[in-house]
Structure 1
Amino acid sequence: MSDPSRPSVRRRRLSEELRRYRISAGMTLDDAASATEWSIGKVSNIETGVRLRPSVVEVRALLDVYGVDDPQRREALVAITRQAGKKGWWTKYSDVIPDEFPVLESDATGISTYEPMIIPGLLQTPGYVELLARSANLVRDPVDIRRVVDARRRRQEILESEHRPELWVVIDAGAIERLRATPDVCREQANHLADVADNGEGITVQVVPFSAGIHAGAKGSFVLMDFAAADPVVYLEMDQDGLFLEQTEEIIRYRNLFNHLVSRSLDVDQSVSYLRDISKAP
């Protein structure tokens, strides 16, 4: 579970971006404090997230000092500032959502994800979510199952929003083939994947076939998220929590890995044909 004593994901992102802009401007903390006529402590606390979240006026003042004049990046960072203190829908599902991943997911402009074992959460059908919840927990109260399904549905609403992210999903064939054991869920899930891939509205779905053999993605799933006003983030899901990777070399490594997996996958048309065939299987 996330540590309540730590700054929120959005506030950490805001702090890190402001620090990065200061460094890019060639300014020290003392320079920034002098330019804004604030104390060094105030600027430092904003950058570490220790201080209560900065106001929109303060963020705009820092962006002015750092010479950030790109309107899109300025407004995106201001939007993060406004959202940093707000509680999102996910706070109501803290019992079934172990960390702050939905915060980043909802802010992303692009999401690239690879899954070797399960269907990615944003494209899971209700029947699949229920099956997964029951399988993962062996015995679970029906009320808890419903909360898991509802939380997943709320996550998926970002794909219907005005500012929905570009989603590129690569799924290992094993994650789909094991669904044959539950024919009804298999038909529903395979058809849904084929439908969204066919639709062509910002969602790309590709399947890594068994014929690809052992490949670099065999070590596990990951999600690479891009943002309008912040550096990319890689998310690695664990059993009860997740790990966020933000170093440049880590981002490059996982972007290269994703590109490699795309190259080993069936193309979109072939993937859709494969999924349609799976959905028709007895």
Structure 2
Amino acid sequence: MLDHMTARPPTIRERRLAGELRRLRESTTPLNLEEAAERLGWSKTKLSRIENALRRVTAAEVQQILTLYGVSGPRFDALVDFSRTTRQRGWWDIYENSLPTDYATYMGLEAEAEWLNSYTMGLVHGLMQTDDYTHHVAKSILMRFSPTSEVERRVTARMARQKAWAEREDPTRLWTILDETALHRVIGGPGVMRDQYRRIIELTEQPNVMFQIMPVAAGGHPGVVGSFAVLGFRERFTPNVVYVENMTSALYIEDEKEVHTYSLAFEQMAAMALSPEESVAMLERLVRQ
């Protein structure tokens, strides 16, 4: 029915619920899409659209799905309660039509995450960037491919993302490991970089921030293949998600085994990186140069 159809892009919560319903069918039942739809008395198209967040799903429908999949107890109650909140939209939704879909989706996931473990190779993590650093990054990446207005939209979105993180009552816990080479890559000039070093030092004083530097001297480690982030959420029924970004698109990994591999890789890298104290000391030396 029309009132159940998603006439506008789905919210992050709708996508998370859809992904969890699909994962439950695939991991806890022997049913394929057609078989599950038949057992529910629905069309295959209806269930497919629900699993891909292309159709709004009611709490009653979620109850039907979970009962079929054998979900009960606290997890059943939590998912049904969550389904009643999925239409809530966040500050990031205003960018859904002006920024690439992958990036807008990531902002929403990051905003709802309880914790974020990130390894970045080429650039300072977005939540730690200064305005000037962000502007020069966006300009260097997009200048030849996009108009100036696109650069400004990226900078505005990045600053809104930081503001929301800082003002959140219970902000996302950020643990980021930055490759040392990013600190020596001069973005916007020496002055911009010194301000950026100072900004990171300031943020490390926050109780929800853990910062480490992966020194070049550490040699090979799991992150040499590229940057990634592991996001965890407050709702215990929601699996962790790995986010991997490249120049033109992004990959979201939800497979439990793959997410576990990335989590183990991050733990190994944290053990190889400089301690938080040593990392701040390196930044202080760079400020004085």
TM-score, normalised on structure 1?
0.80
Which residue does the alignment assign to 1:39? 41
Residues 32/134 of structure 1: CA separation in 2 closer, same or farther (3 Å cut): closer
Which residue does the alignment assign to 2:189? 182
Instruction: Provide the aligned C-alpha RMSD in A.
Output: 3.4
Residues 160/179 of structure 1: CA separation in 2 closer, same or farther (3 Å cut): farther
Q: Quick one: which of 29, 51, 69 aligns to 2:73? A: 69
Q: Quick one: which of 123, 127, 131 aligns to 2:132? A: 127
Q: Which amino acid aligns with 1:212?
A: A
Which residue does the alignment assign to 2:4? none
Is 1:251 matched up with 2:254? no
Q: Which amino acid aligns with 2:201?
A: A
User: For each residue in 1:188-216, what CA deviation from the matched residue of structure 2 results, as whole angstroms up to 9, or x when unmatched?
Assistant: 111111111122x2111100112212332
Which residue does the alignment assign to 1:237? 245
Which residue does the alignment assign to 1:117? 122
For the 8 Å contact 1:232–1:251, the answer to whether it is kept is: yes
Q: CA deviation at 1:19?
A: 4.3
Distance 1:97 1:249 in 2: 28
Which residue does the alignment assign to 2:282? 274
Distance 1:142 1:24 in 2: 46
Residues 191/238 of structure 1: CA separation in 2 closer, same or farther (3 Å cut): same
Q: CA deviation at 1:98?
A: 4.3
User: For each residue in 1:138-178, what CA deviation from the matched residue of structure 2 results, as whole angstroms up to 9, or x when unmatched?
Assistant: 45755443322110012221343123222110000100112
Q: CA deviation at 1:222?
A: 0.6
Is 1:16 matched up with 2:19? yes
Which residue does the alignment assign to 1:215? 221
Q: Which amino acid aligns with 1:179?
A: V
Residues 148/31 of structure 1: CA separation in 2 closer, same or farther (3 Å cut): closer
User: For each residue in 1:214-261, what CA deviation from the matched residue of structure 2 results, as whole angstroms up to 9, or x when unmatched?
Assistant: 332111101111122311111111112211111122112211211121
Distance 1:32 1:143 in 2: 46
For the 8 Å contact 2:117–2:229, the answer to whether it is kept is: yes
Residues 27/154 of structure 1: CA separation in 2 closer, same or farther (3 Å cut): same
Which residue does the alignment assign to 2:86? 83
Which residue does the alignment assign to 2:177? 170
Q: CA deviation at 1:62?
A: 4.9
Q: Which amino acid aligns with 1:189?
A: Q
- Structure 1 unaligned regions, length at least 5: none
For the 8 Å contact 2:12–2:108, the answer to whether it is kept is: yes
Q: How many residues align?
A: 273
Distance 1:52 1:32 in 2: 14
For the 8 Å contact 1:90–1:151, the answer to whether it is kept is: no
Q: CA deviation at 1:95?
A: 3.5
For the 8 Å contact 1:115–1:171, the answer to whether it is kept is: yes
Q: CA deviation at 1:88?
A: 5.1
Residues 276/64 of structure 1: CA separation in 2 closer, same or farther (3 Å cut): farther
Residues 5/95 of structure 1: CA separation in 2 closer, same or farther (3 Å cut): closer
Which residue does the alignment assign to 1:59? 62
SS state at 1:255 partner: helix
For the 8 Å contact 1:113–1:168, the answer to whether it is kept is: yes
For the 8 Å contact 1:120–1:169, the answer to whether it is kept is: yes
Q: CA deviation at 1:91?
A: 4.1
Q: CA deviation at 1:49?
A: 3.5
Q: Quick one: which of 141, 157, 163 aligns to 1:151? A: 157
